[in-house]
Amino acid sequence: MSDLDQRIGAMHRRDVIVAWAFVLGLWFSIIFVAYATWNLAPSGGARTLLLIAGAVILVFNTAAILAMLRHYREDRDFMYGLDIKFLDAARAARR
pLDDT at 31 over 70: yes
Evaluate whether residue 32 is within a structural domain.
no
Say yes or no to pLDDT of 74 above 80.
Answer: yes
In a domain, 47, yes or no: yes
Average pLDDT across the chain, whole number: 93
User: What pTM did the predictor assign?
Assistant: 0.81
31 found inside a domain: no
E strand or H helix that includes residue 50: helix 44-74
pLDDT of residue 85: 92
Confidence class for position 45, pLDDT limits 50, 70, 90: very high
Q: Please give the pLDDT value at position 1.
A: 60
Name the residue range of residue 86's domain.
3-23+42-94
CA nearest neighbour of 39 among 50, 55, 52: 50
For the chain, the domain total comes to: 1
Confidence at residue 27, expressed as pLDDT on a 0 to 100 scale: 97
Mean pLDDT in residue range 9-29: 96
Residue 2 reports pLDDT greater than 90: no
Burial of 62 (0-12, 13-18, 19+ CB in 10 A): middle
Question: Does 36 reside within a domain?
Answer: no
12: in domain? yes
Per-residue burial over 21-44, b if 16 or more Cβ lie within 10 Å, else e, is eebeeeeeebeeebeeeeeeeeee
